[in-house]
């Protein structure tokens, strides 16, 4: 096992601390072991409801209307802080370590620690229809880079996993054919939740799917309450996401995208067991889900 993955090498809560957050241990110190008198503070048996950051972020994403005044990703910073507030980073890191002991494929992937950094020049000559060609179009049109989001060296297994999930998100859109529109985001999120639940232990799947669980459930609620005309489209997205997630034979975040740049997208999807999504077909249809 990679010694870099040991907890003593790096406090896994540093991810949260870089966002200005407070660990559970720090919070308990501030509270001095005191519990509120009955009725003085709203409390629940749900850690999500007990977190003002999480509950506010979820409520906002699930219930607000979408207009042209804000980008689709406007809620993500608040969602990230809310999720960090309910995450026990020490337990999450321990779950990753337990998964390595019982899941040989996951252990081998983490032991390899393959970096993922694709420059436009790396894929400039890839043929149309290949993953590399799609990546080149994405990079040149968006101005973004295909590098780990935090752009720091991971010094624990848990941090590497979280980086891989975040960094591969756009690549997942390109490979699956679920574009970066409302329906495509829902389908991709549902695909990830479904696949992780099948291919990983339930405790690790819950930790690694929380972003996708948050987004998918909030998007369904927002559609139901604000854009009911879009319910058929969202139902189609959920159905396709579940079907692809049930067929996938490897978690999307564990795919070695760099090794497939010269391959046709359809061939890569077939290799990993699923049919690609509708591509741009949902782009126009998704307009019914905002405004």
pTM of the model: 0.85
Q: Which residues of 36-64 are buried (b: 16+ CB within 10 A; e: fewer)?
A: eeeeeeeeeeeeeeebebbbebbebbbee
Q: Are the beta carbons of 129 and 264 closer than 8 angstroms?
A: yes
Point out which residues pair with 279 in neighbouring strands.
178
Kindly report which listed range (25-39, 62-76, 201-215) carries the lowest average pLDDT score. 25-39
Q: Quick one: average pLDDT of 123-128? A: 95
All structural domains of the chain with their residue ranges: 3-27+44-289
Question: Could you tell me the pLDDT band of residue 132, with boundaries at 50, 70 and 90?
Answer: very high
Nearest alpha-carbon partner for 249 in 229, 268, 225, 224: 268
Kindly report which listed range (57-61, 112-116, 158-162, 186-190) carries the lowest average pLDDT score. 112-116
Q: Which residues contact 75 (CB under 8 A, 6 or more apart)?
A: 57, 60, 61, 64, 218
Task: Give the position of tokens 């960090």.
Answer: 84
Question: Which two tokens mark 86?
Answer: 């309910």
pLDDT surpasses 70 at 4: no
């Amino acid at each position: 096992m990679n010694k870099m993955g040991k907890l003593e090498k790096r406090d896994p809560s540093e991810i949260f601390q870089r966002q200005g957050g407070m660990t559970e241990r720090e919070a308990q110190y501030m509270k001095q072991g005191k519990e509120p008198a009955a009725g003085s503070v709203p409390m629940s048996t749900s850690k999500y409801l007990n977190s003002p950051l999480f509950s506010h972020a979820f409520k906002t994403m699930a219930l607000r209307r979408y207009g042209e005044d804000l980008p689709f990703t406007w809620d993500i910073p608040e969602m990230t802080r809310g999720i960090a507030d309910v995450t026990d980073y020490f337990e999450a890191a321990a779950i990753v370590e337990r998964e390595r002991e019982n899941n040989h494929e996951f252990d081998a992937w983490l032991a390899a620690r393959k970096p993922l950094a694709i420059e436009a020049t790396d894929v400039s000559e890839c043929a149309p229809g290949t993953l590399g060609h799609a990546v080149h179009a994405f990079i040149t049109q968006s101005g973004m880079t295909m590098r780990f989001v935090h752009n720091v060296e991971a010094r624990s297994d848990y941090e590497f996993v979280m980086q891989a999930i975040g960094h591969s998100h756009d690549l997942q859109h390109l490979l699956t054919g679920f574009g970066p529109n409302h329906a495509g985001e829902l389908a991709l999120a549902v695909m990830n939740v479904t696949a992780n639940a099948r291919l990983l232990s339930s405790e690790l799947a819950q930790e690694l799917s929380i972003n996708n669980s948050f987004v998918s459930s909030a998007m369904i609620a927002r559609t139901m309450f604000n854009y009911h005309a879009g319910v058929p489209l969202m139902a189609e997205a959920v159905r396709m996401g579940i079907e692809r997630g049930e067929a996938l034979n490897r978690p999307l975040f564990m795919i070695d995208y760099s090794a497939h740049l010269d391959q046709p997208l359809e061939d890569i999807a077939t290799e990993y067991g699923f049919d690609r999504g509708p591509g741009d077909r949902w782009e126009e249809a998704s307009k019914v889900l905002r405004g």
